[in-house]
Homo-oligomer: A and B are copies of this chain.
Amino acid sequence: MNERVLIKDLSALPEGTVTVSGWVDTVRDQKKVQFVVLRDESGAVQIVNPATREIAEDDASSAERVATTEAISGLSQGSFITVTGTLKHDERVKLGGLEVKLATMDVVSHAIPETPIAADSSLDKRMDWRFIDLRQPKQNLVFRIQTTFEHALRQYWIDNDFIEIHTPKLMASASESRAELFEVEYFDTKAYLAQSPQFFKQMAQPAGFGKVFEVGPAFRADPSFTSRHATEFTSIDSEISWIDSHEDVMQLHEDLIVAGFTAVVEKHGDAIRELFGLEVTVPSTPFPRIPLAEAKRIVAERGYEVPRADDDMDPEGERQIAAYVKEEFGHEFVFLTDYASSIRPFYHMRNDEDGSLTKSYDLIFNGVEISTGAQREHRVDVLIEQAKEKGLEPEELEFYLDFFRYGVPPHGGFGMGLARVLMLMLHETSIREVTYLFRGPTRLAP
């Protein structure tokens, strides 16, 4: 491995010889002196080189210096270079109060000079050239935040004795609704891509795993083009045994959110402030909980009637109730609970007293749904009835129903979209901004 120093570590080094590697951000090619802003995964630094424009006959080394000067003049943005030079601390240098005086430069990869995107390119164009788009410090930070957030969740799960599972994404049948299912040619039969790990994370319960988690892809053949939908997304899932109700799931859920936000604020709070102009705050627990019927009343009182025939909320309703919660409780999160059974999947457990309601919730963050959770129905006879009521064929669900026939503990869990959390945390307008490579109905590349 070459002995390069990360740019962020330069400020702590004494003056002297250093080697830095990265890509060319800008070149300022003045007559007497050349400046290169070099960027790596950790930051940016100014490289300075006194230009030597002509070979002096009486100076043997001048040919080499001219060659270097010309190489710098010819540097295109995005070229990857390694520079060895002398580190100087100088408060007058705006970029970090230091610069590196170039001694030698190695251009390891020349970039095509015409960069196909600029800062003001459309989101779609930027996605075409995502690998260049991701060089922006803001984008780099997004994925460092993602890394920290996920790791904090995993640390919580590990500390609490959860088992990590990897459920198969190839299934013989649908896991949620037949409508949004991708079909795969599977030797001489068909397979389907898992819309969620729902059935298989539940399977861990009769398997006696107790508490499980998974972070993995989920697939929805959803033709919509909203800023919140993708055909492939990273789903954060957890499922636990021996709960009394969805309240136990919500407690786990808010603890996880707090763990994730705490880690993000600690590690990236300053960088987020600088690059996004935002103050990310760690939410307090318990998060407010509002039954859906009450939420609709509150929203109506604010002058918004949810224009839906079914009992569901709509996106504007979610924004309105979030605004109310923000005003009333100063909170960015709210659990909407007790959704009507008519609009919930057959496997959500219903309320003991009122079968028209489920023991379920949605988690709303800054006005947008990021997650659905519930206690699951574990009584197989009830489950079959609920499946039939939804127009499903119990025969197609046999493998799933078997999970409940040989003993199963009461259990529940949630699934949460990773990109939605990041989008709302960073006040971005689309999950495309916070997805490494977005997949949509018309987007399969790069």
Contacts and interface: CB of A to CB of B under 8 A. Distances in A.
Contacts of A158: 147-148, 151
Contacts of A140: 163, 208-209
Interface in A203-255: 203-204, 206-211, 216-217, 219, 221, 223, 231-232, 234, 241-244, 248, 251
Contacts of A210: 40-42
A100 to B, nearest CB: 17
Q: Which of A79, A182, A234, A379 has the most CB of B within 10 A?
A: A182
A22 B211 CA distance: 13
Q: Assembly of this chain: how many copies?
A: 2
A172 B442 CA distance: 11
A305 B162 CA distance: 48
Contacts of A151: 154, 158, 164
A283 interface: no
Nearest to A166: B234
A132 B217 contact: no
Contacts of A172: 444-445
A388 B135 CA distance: 30
Nearest to A219: B170
Contact of A206 (B40, B132, B171): B132
Contacts of A82: 242
Given A39-B208, A151-B158, A182 B182 contact: no
A182 B186 CA distance: 7
Contact of A404 (B2, B109, B132, B408): B109
Interface in A66-93: 76, 78-80, 82
Contacts of A170: 182, 219, 231-232, 439, 444
A405 interface: yes
Contacts of A399: 445-446
A169 interface: yes
Interface residues of A, number: 106
Given A162-B147, A208-B41, A234-B166, A187 B221 contact: yes
Interface stretch (A52-60, A110-118, A286-294, A348-356): A110-118
Q: Which of A42, A204, A242, A379 has the most CB of B within 10 A?
A: A242
Contact of A406 (B78, B191, B231): B78
A223 B23 CA distance: 44
A79 B243 contact: no
Interface in A128-175: 129-132, 134-135, 140, 143-144, 146-148, 150-151, 154, 158, 161-173
B405 A111 contact: yes
24 contacts: A1-B251, A4-B242, A41-B241, A78-B206, A80-B409, A109-B378, A111-B405, A130-B207, A131-B402, A132-B207, A134-B207, A147-B164, A165-B436, A166-B436, A167-B437, A169-B232, A170-B182, A170-B231, A171-B444, A183-B185, A186-B444, A187-B441, A187-B442, A399-B445
